[in-house]
Amino acid sequence: MRRLTVAPLCILLIAMAGARAQGPAAPEPDACASFDWPILREQAWFSAPGLPRLASGATLPAEMPGATLELSTEAQARLPLTPSREPKPETRGGVLHVPAPVVPGLYQITLSENAWIDVSQDGTTTRPPVATTRRRGCPGVVKSLRFQFGTQPVLIAVSGAEVDAITIAVAPAE
């Protein structure tokens, strides 16, 4: 009789362990170190107290290379560039202006969430990234893209986001 009461308990424990294993994936600390270039600087900016929260169309403050950009529906976002990738229905977008880089060179744009970005320095021509790195499981950072910039202001058009706000950092590549 004792074996009959232990068996259901064992089955219940095995079932619970299986359900826990199939739950949402926990953050993977190694994922943050496996980007193609360092993102520790951006992680620090994204978690800094007082990180600016900007409305779509605002300019990134010169004293802080990162900010959280508020997004709206694609129809309300009024993107100045036609997205180079068709946004899915019900996604969000926004625009961030970045002051002209003082020194031309390789810059990286890092995002906290999944989204598509189109980048321009003349307001009409989309600039392709030189390189892209993306990892799952890194808390606070999803992808980082590198662009070659001159000394004109930068326009970043965000589209295809499934969140109400996205944190973005723009800085010279390390």
Cβ neighbors of 121 (< 8 A, separation 6 or more) are 127, 149, 150, 152, 153, 154, 155
pLDDT digits (tens, 9 = 90+) for 86-122: 999 899 999 999 999 999 999 999 999 999 999 999 9
Give the pLDDT mean for 2-18. Answer: 38
Kindly report the CATH number assigned to the domain that includes residue 104: 2.60.120
The structure's pTM equals: 0.82
Give the pLDDT mean for 129-140. Answer: 94
Is 23 within the bounds of a domain? no
**Lowest mean pLDDT segment, chosen from 17-26, 38-47, 67-76, 161-170:** 17-26
* Sign of the Cα pseudo-torsion (161, 132, 134, 154, in order): negative
User: How many domains does the chain fold into?
Assistant: 1
Is 7 within the bounds of a domain? no
Is 22 within the bounds of a domain? no
pLDDT score for 28: 54
Is 17 within the bounds of a domain? no
Q: What percent of the chain has pLDDT over 90?
A: 72
Is 19 within the bounds of a domain? no
List of long-range contacts for 6-12, beta carbons under 8 Å, 24+ apart: none
Domain that includes residue 88, residue range: 28-172
Is 168 within the bounds of a domain? yes
Is 37 within the bounds of a domain? yes
pLDDT score for 3: 46
